[in-house]
């Protein structure tokens, strides 16, 4: 029986997906640490608000944008969204205000949802 990883295309897709998921997990941890650094004792409120905004993105914004995403070329969109998420995470060291955390989290969540919809 042949392993799915013996197919070069699938292996590349699988590797890219593992890297993207690891980056998403690490950005969530970084977001929590950044919220603690900026808000101190109010970090729980900041993180709770950021996670609530993430749900708003999943339920409200991303399905609308995801509907338009199906009209675009899949490969180029997937690559562009991953690059955009990486660039936005690279700006984390320059975040100085709590509202920037909210904006970044909303951005990542919307892009993540579009990626998941496009992968199906």
Q: Is the pLDDT of residue 62 over 80?
A: no
Model confidence band, residue 51 (pLDDT cutoffs 50, 70, 90): confident
Q: What is the largest CA-CA distance in the chain?
A: 56
Locate 39 and state its tokens.
């808000």
What's the pTM? 0.69
Does 120 have pLDDT greater than 70?
no
Distance CA(61)–CA(12), nearest Å, equals 30
Q: How confident is the model at residue 1 (pLDDT cuts 50, 70, 90)?
A: low
pLDDT confidence tier of residue 89, bands split at 50, 70 and 90: confident
Q: Which of 73, 35, 77, 40 is nearest to 53 (CA)?
A: 35
Residue 117 predicted with pLDDT over 70: no
DSSP conformation class of 91: T
């Amino acid at each position: 029986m042949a392993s799915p990883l013996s197919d070069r295309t699938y292996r590349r897709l699988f590797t890219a997906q593992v890297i993207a998921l690891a980056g998403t997990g690490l950005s969530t941890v970084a977001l929590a640490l950044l919220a603690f650094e900026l808000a101190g004792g109010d970090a729980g409120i900041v993180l709770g608000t950021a996670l609530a905004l993430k749900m708003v993105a999943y339920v409200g914004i991303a399905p609308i944008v995801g509907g338009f995403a199906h009209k675009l070329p899949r490969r180029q969109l997937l690559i562009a969204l991953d690059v955009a998420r990486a660039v936005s995470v690279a700006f984390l060291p320059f975040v100085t205000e709590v509202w920037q955390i909210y904006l970044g989290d909303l951005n990542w969540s919307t892009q993540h949802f579009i990626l998941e919809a496009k992968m199906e």
